[in-house]
Chains A and B, each alone.
Chain A
Amino acid sequence: MSFSQREKLTYAFLLGFGILGPILFPAYTFQIAVLWIMVLFAQTWDTMGGQMGYNSLGNIFFFGTGMYICAITQVGMFYDVGVYTAAHGADKAVFTDTQYYIGLGVGLLLAALGSAFLAAILGWTVFGLRGPYFAIGTLAIALSAGELIGAWEWVGGGGGIALPVYPGSGDGKSEFFYVLCFASAIATFAFLKWLYTTRFGLALNAIRDDEDKAEAMGVHTLRHKTVAWTISAFFLGITGGLFGNMTGFIEPLEVAFPTITFGIFMVAMALLGGKGTLWGPVLGAILFHIIKETTWTYFLGWQWIALGVIIIVNVVFFQQGIMGYLEDKYPHWFGVEVEESNAIDDQAKEATQ
């Protein structure tokens, strides 16, 4: 089987699963929607962490800000946000169907743009940091954002915000958001797949391999880094907006800026699948989500230990992740042909001829 056949088969399988999954297993619609959110997490993290080698621990920041921007837009277009949040849902605010859909549409758009804008601004400061300092710096951004939102009464503070209620049945809501999550995951994948074929993709890899060299060759490194983060943030903003509406109620620490759950999961998933590869984050997210849900359901009490074991085994023994291992071991599966090469000595002679 050639590389393109294998890839087509994978597309067919994933599309089939994405379409048939909620039809065959309607009770799991919400779970599969979360699976696509996980795929979005891993893909957007990998743009920075895998392709560019900047391990951000704070990407969850854009998920949270997207969530809040979306929520505030949805409420603020039709009500006074301060009054709405002060009532803590006690004063029933009613949204008509039209108001709901327009609010959601505009909210998601602003979530994406707002997160991207924040990434561009923050990029100018945090990209002075490299390696572990970048990881800690970005983590600090996410943590402090959670605390700041928690202290901001206008947006509900630590008490959070109840989102407008979906105008329809519970099943209808699941299906509606399922479609949006699935579509977002596909759109993000398609966009990144294209992006990695452009000059931009090579520049990210060059920054990962040797940023000083890239600078010495005149690559606009800061520009590329900032745009990469902006792209991550754009899609994460949408993801946050969607997830906030799926849960229906958001608050800063557990839902919007969950640094120790989603914030770490996105890293773990990309590492498990193979960072810096196109399919790795997708595969990693799917496996991770299945393992996570299984342990949560059947080994309750041991779930964190199970996740910890996976992360440790992954990081200590299996750093390339699954796709990285396969690409290394079976390069021809991925369309890489290595020509029969002569011994190094012959090459050295050849080079001198």
Chain B
Amino acid sequence: MTNIIEVEGVSKSYGGVVANHKVSMEVPVGRITGLIGPNGSGKTTLFNSVVGYQPIDEGSIKFKGQEISKMNVQQIARLGLLRTFQQTRIYGNMNGVQNMLISVSHRNAAFLDMFKPYPAEMKDKAEHLLEFVGLYQKRKLSAGDLSFGQQKLLEFAMALMNDPEVLLLDEPTAGINPTLINGLLDRLHRANTEFGITLFVIEHNMRVVMNLADNIYCLAHGELLAHGTPDEIQNDQRVIDAYLGAH
């Protein structure tokens, strides 16, 4: 099993607050990896470090064997390592199709490509993916007018439009009603199996993460607490104390 992301000994402090301390983890290619932990345990900090949002203090982050910890957000995104946001971010004044089209990967974009129109097959792909997440009927509405759950689905579809190799999802089901969660869960599985995208998911909903991921990392106080299969994690006393059931 090869690892597409390798995080090794990564530390990150904000002033005196240590958000990540010597965290190491591996994301195997083609699988779904979960990341859990109590609030403030450093999950989003780690995501931010991986996608280049902030410089790390020490350690190494590799994507397909290439060191990326010194690269900026756009360069990393163009490598095919993409993230969605905890606070959903879409382009509010543009309609669904436009949101999709601008999300087409800029990986191989030459300078003059920006003055080209979008070919018909890209529009087809955009509509197909909107259909995939169930937003086809809403495709001509301003994305800002969609409900929160629909915006999450749109953001997910936009990420798929980009053809990423790895998708980092920061709480994909937060704030979504239970019916929609099942649908989203199904779409996430299909993104992994049908489109072959490796997923790395932060999730607070235990039912979701235990169903979704085939291996899970647990962070607490900025340090790696445990790693294992969903069963191992659910039965790990340290995880239970730190997070799952201790009061």
Contact = CB atoms under 8 A, between A and B. Distances in A.
A183 B180 CA distance: 55
Contacts, number: 126
A208 B93 CA distance: 9
A216 B82 contact: yes
Interface stretch (B14-22, B61-69, B84-92): B84-92
B2 interface: no
B150 A347 contact: yes
A200 B83 CA distance: 23
Contacts of B153: 351
A235 to B, nearest CB: 16
B74 A339 contact: no
A205 B94 contact: yes
B71 to A, nearest CB: 12
A202 B134 contact: no
B67 to A, nearest CB: 19
B73 A341 contact: no
Interface in A334-353: 336-339, 341-342, 344, 347-353
Interface centre among A203, A205, A214, A216 (most CB of B within 10 A): A216
Interface stretch (A104-112, A164-172, A218-226, A240-248): A218-226
Interface stretch (A90-98, A123-131, A191-199): A191-199
Contacts of B149: 348, 351
B141 A341 contact: yes
A339 B93 CA distance: 18
Nearest to A346: B137
A220 B74 contact: yes
Contacts of B113: 199
A352 B90 contact: no
Interface stretch (B30-38, B98-106, B226-234): B98-106
Interface string B149-160: 110010000100
Chain B's interface size range is 35 or more
A8 interface: no
B183 A198 contact: no
B93 A351 contact: no
For A199, A203, A223, which residue has the most chain B Cβ atoms within 10 angstroms?
A199
Interface residues of A, number: 40
Contact of B111 (A208, A223, A337): A223
Interface string A309-353: 000000000000000000000000000111101101001111111
A227 B114 contact: yes
B109 A220 contact: yes
Nearest to A210: B89
Contacts of B118: 199
A215 interface: yes
Contact of A199 (B91, B93, B114, B133): B114
B141 A217 contact: no
B138 A341 contact: yes
Nearest to B72: A215
A342 B137 contact: yes
Nearest to A53: B93
Contact of B91 (A213, A276, A338, A347): A213
A219 B91 contact: no
A209 interface: yes
16 contacts: A197-B117, A199-B102, A199-B113, A202-B98, A205-B98, A209-B90, A213-B91, A215-B74, A216-B82, A218-B162, A219-B74, A220-B74, A220-B114, A350-B137, A351-B133, A352-B180
Interface of A: 195, 197-200, 202-203, 205-206, 208-210, 212-221, 223-224, 227, 276, 336-339, 341-342, 344, 347-353
Q: Top 6 A-B pairs ranked by shortest CB distance? A: A352-B183, A351-B134, A218-B77, A209-B91, A213-B89, A218-B78
Given A205-B98, A214-B91, 16 more contacts: A195-B115, A199-B101, A199-B113, A202-B94, A205-B93, A206-B91, A212-B89, A213-B89, A213-B91, A216-B89, A220-B106, A223-B114, A338-B140, A347-B134, A347-B147, A352-B182
